[in-house]
Structure 1
Amino acid sequence: MNRAPYAADPLQTRGREFPQERAGARGPRSEFQRDRDRIIHSMSFRRLRSKTQVFIAPEGDHYRTRMTHSLEVAQIGRVIARALGLDEDLTEALCLAHDLGHPPFGHAGEDALCDAMQRHGGFDHNAQALRTVMRLESPYPGHEGLNLTWDLLEGLAKHNGPVGGPNWALAELDEAFPLELTSWPSLEAQVAAVADDIAYDNHDIDDGLRAGFLSLDDLLELDFLADQWREVERQHAGEPRDRQLRELVRNQIGLMVNDVITHTREQLRDVGSVGEVRGAGRQLGGFSPGFAAEERKLKRFMYDRLYYHQEQVATAERARDVVARLFAAYSQDAKLMPEEWQARLPEHNPQRARVIADFIAGMSDRFAIERCAAIYGERPRGLTNV
């Protein structure tokens, strides 16, 4: 690989929170490869297979989960990183880790934890991802967390841009291992963020069509999608409709990826180092202004037609109730929690509430439903709409 001068270099990493000797390291891997592998082998990553992406507890096997979404983000991220000469391993690691802080039931679960934690400092899935990899997921002797590189943690904290007012969780972690929250992150982190946008913009369309929440007529209300559909029909006339629709999604991904690569290259003409990327004072990796405007239209369309669909909203409300009831139950009787979690519970709030939120945030959809049924004696109903 030809590494660009503005790419992150694993030989120049700022290290790990807990220093480690490389003597006897397991295999000839770079520091960023080690980060990626630690994420893939973590229990938090494995649990993503049973966490909501768009549809809550879907009965079919073909709908995306947080894990399949993260894998798709990583695939897109690596393509962009390779074209720009960035570090593919760091990009992939960031893509794989970006959703580790999501609680069960996606944004519905996050809303419930935000409400429950309102008096205790709040809850945010991005900060929870950092808390997960730095404190909660602790498989190694001698230290807490996965002990990932500064570069990975910085990108995870700021992949959506500088953080001016971190909540308690991120502020606490930043104090322990400063992440320069007010500057822009590496290009690898910026690419991971736009790869996330590309993946869910398009793959959520695929799932929405499969579930019957979206139709082709809906999609054709967007001019740039209508243009692509006409080209698909011209090139693949007579093919089954479902194959044509999937070709439309693939074409959209290709257009977005190519736009990001072209625009980012233009932005990097006078950039010669990672330091200049962080000090640029603006986003360098992303969509061109024109395509960004079209992408915002697509997002608004998806919120109106899919994410806020009447059935989705009703199911999300039931999911929020599950998380709220779990938080209430554990707050009232800690003995309902596993012994290892009881042992780590602080005596007083807000720290006590934060550990309860940690426990719930780590649950899969299925486990949250099972625990709610065990505690309240009745299995929650109506938690799937596909």
Structure 2
Amino acid sequence: MSMRAPWACVPTQSCGRLHEEQTGIIRGPRDAFQRDRDRIIHSIAFRRLRSKTQVFMAPDGDHFRVRLTHSLEVAQIGRTVARALGLNEDLTEALCLAHDIGHPPFGHAGERALEEALAGQGGFDHNGHTLRTLTTLERPYPGWDGLNLTWDTLEGLAKHNGPIYEPQWALAAADAQFPLALEQWPSLEAQVAAIADDIAYDNHDIDDGLRAGLLSLDQLMAVPMIEQGWRAVEAKYPGTDRKRLIGEMVRSQIGAMANDLIVATRTRLIESDVQSVGDVREAGRCLAHFSDEMREAERGLKAFMYANLYHHPEQLAAADAAHRMVAGLFAAYAADPKLMPAEWRDALPVDEPWRSRHIADFIAGMTDRYAISRYQEVIGPIDLPEGF
């Protein structure tokens, strides 16, 4: 086991859980953060990630990434970085595994449709919905709603991208129930989880984009970081099959970004004279980040991916179809709640905004395939792009 640094979160010093639990019942020798991680893994919301969009919506191919496999890849990168920095690996892993639980079907296209549908009722935000799912909608325990995760895990999920000064309603409700110090920076574990997410999707989306034929290697050579990495693996393994070289390039780039993150973060910790978790939260800036050089290179890669993959005409056509399905489902359920399953219909609030938010909760929990089947059942056929 690696030595913990003084700036690492410690489970015995956690701020605890909202609901007191019986300490006499031992379900295996696990500390508080390990229990959080395991509760997330065993949750229904986590299992549903296997059929939710990462980049490609309801993909036909078995080899494309979905939210579940993406979250596992983020956790692998996050644990590696956390270990090198002396952080709490279990808390980091819990945050990585749970960070996308609030995404509705069809990724950002589905989120945009729900945001528009709830425009007069507070809107929709996948990060706020992650907290809502874990604190309210998941109900596996007889004594309370939610998974009753530690404050440290909820805090890290709430503000892994930094302080929040104007929380959206779902996050504000979670904060009102269990104050999360939203205006402070989060733990280093949360900061590492956020950038591990970037490292994972920056690189694995290249792999999926090439596999789908929406990106070409020639296109990618316009990105200096990619061109440099490709030339390096090509020189190291001359005459090797191109598909294997692409995999090696992606792996090497993940390693280069992770190593840069570790070195740059150590430097900032020394410069900031950080000695505790409290110092991290009061530092006034993000401490876990790339060097300036890598940050610029990563921005260039992101700009390329948005222009050539995320906004590819085929992706935009799929997103348009997804938006129509989610918007159509919301309108149908709002007009006739009897179309919803009995457990959701019977619990439907009478008053707004909770009535609309309840409908959005139901839709947000859907997988891509379930949303398609419900749309076809409730509304009718929809013309989906080829390969959807």
Is the Cα–Cα contact under 8 Å of residues 56 and 383 in structure 1 kept in the other structure? Answer: no
Is the Cα–Cα contact under 8 Å of residues 56 and 384 in structure 1 kept in the other structure? Answer: no
Amino acid at match of 1:118: A
Partner residue, 1:382: 384
Partner residue, 1:281: 284
Q: Normalising by structure 2, what TM-score?
A: 0.98
Is the Cα–Cα contact under 8 Å of residues 9 and 87 in structure 1 kept in the other structure? Answer: yes
Partner residue, 1:56: 57
Partner residue, 1:334: 337
Report deviation, 1:377: 3.2
Amino acid at match of 1:371: R
Cα deviation code 1:68-100 (max 9, x no counterpart): 000000000000000001000000000000000
Is the Cα–Cα contact under 8 Å of residues 32 and 89 in structure 1 kept in the other structure? Answer: yes
Partner residue, 2:374: 371
Is the Cα–Cα contact under 8 Å of residues 58 and 384 in structure 1 kept in the other structure? Answer: no
* 1:140 maps to 2:147: no
> How high is the sequence identity, in percent, across the aligned residues?
62
The CA distance in 2 between the partners of 1:384 and 1:160, in whole Å, is 35
Report deviation, 1:384: 5.2
Is the Cα–Cα contact under 8 Å of residues 198 and 253 in structure 1 kept in the other structure? Answer: yes
Is the Cα–Cα contact under 8 Å of residues 311 and 385 in structure 1 kept in the other structure? Answer: no
SS of 2:120's partner is helix
Is the Cα–Cα contact under 8 Å of residues 57 and 384 in structure 1 kept in the other structure? Answer: no
How many equivalent residue pairs?
A: 385
The CA distance in 1 between the partners of 2:292 and 2:45, in whole Å, is 36
The CA distance in 2 between the partners of 1:384 and 1:204, in whole Å, is 20
Amino acid at match of 1:274: V
Amino acid at match of 1:176: Q
Q: In terms of mean alpha carbon deviation, does 219-228 or 206-215 score higher?
A: 219-228
* 1:80 maps to 2:86: no
The CA distance in 2 between the partners of 1:245 and 1:354, in whole Å, is 44
Amino acid at match of 1:368: A
Is the Cα–Cα contact under 8 Å of residues 319 and 383 in structure 1 kept in the other structure? Answer: no
The CA distance in 2 between the partners of 1:222 and 1:173, in whole Å, is 41
Cα deviation code 1:212-255 (max 9, x no counterpart): 11111111101121111111110011110000011110111000
| Deviant stretches of 4+, over 6 Å | none
Q: Which runs of 5+ in 1 are unaligned?
A: none
Q: Which runs of 5+ in 2 are unaligned?
A: none
Partner residue, 2:103: 102
The CA distance in 1 between the partners of 2:322 and 2:259, in whole Å, is 38
Cα deviation code 1:29-86 (max 9, x no counterpart): 0100000000000000000000000001110100000000000000000000000010
CA RMSD, aligned part only?
0.9
Amino acid at match of 1:357: A
Is the Cα–Cα contact under 8 Å of residues 317 and 385 in structure 2 kept in the other structure? Answer: no
